[in-house]
Amino acid sequence: MPEQIQARVEACYQQAETFFKQRFARPEISFKLRGQKAGVAHLTENKLRFNLQLYRANHEDFLRQTVPHEVAHMVAHQLFGPRIQPHGEEWQLIMRGVYELPPHRCHSYEVERRKVSRFIYRCSCADGEFPFSAQRHALVAKGRRYYCRRCKVTLTFSGEQRQE
């Protein structure tokens, strides 16, 4: 699977080299990207990172749009320097002129969100329920206090926890 992405990266570089009539340094390619981003270009490190989970779920569009999108960032950086906008006119020129693709800033892939724990805090109001993140719950354990804006009572942990 990563071989197809690597082959597409190389094809994109060859296309840019033919268009601009100059050679571009090839980046290191990593597949250790998770979360909502499909790809990331680390310009100063000359490194591309891709999300294999999103690639598996969106194979064709990923190869057609995402890979050239990230390579265009690298090419724009090498051509125009570090002071350009990430999705500015230089990057758009490469997307349209070299790859003949629409310069979409973001993908529209369905991303599965991970479950998060919420710790339920209460006050004396009738409907006073406050779901806290694990980070905020840990701050309470260290002594931080939170208050209800309506009744001004300190929120207390109910002992309940739920997944969202």
The position carrying tokens 């090419």 is: 75
Looking at the annotation, which residues are catalytic?
70
CB-based contacts of 58-65 (< 8 A; 24+ apart in sequence): 58/107, 58/109, 61/107, 61/109, 62/5, 62/38, 62/109, 63/4, 63/5, 63/8, 64/101, 65/101, 65/104, 65/107
First to last CA, the chain: 32
Helices (H) and strands (E) in the chain, counts: 6, 6
Which helix (H) or strand (E) segment is 158 a member of?
A: strand 156-163
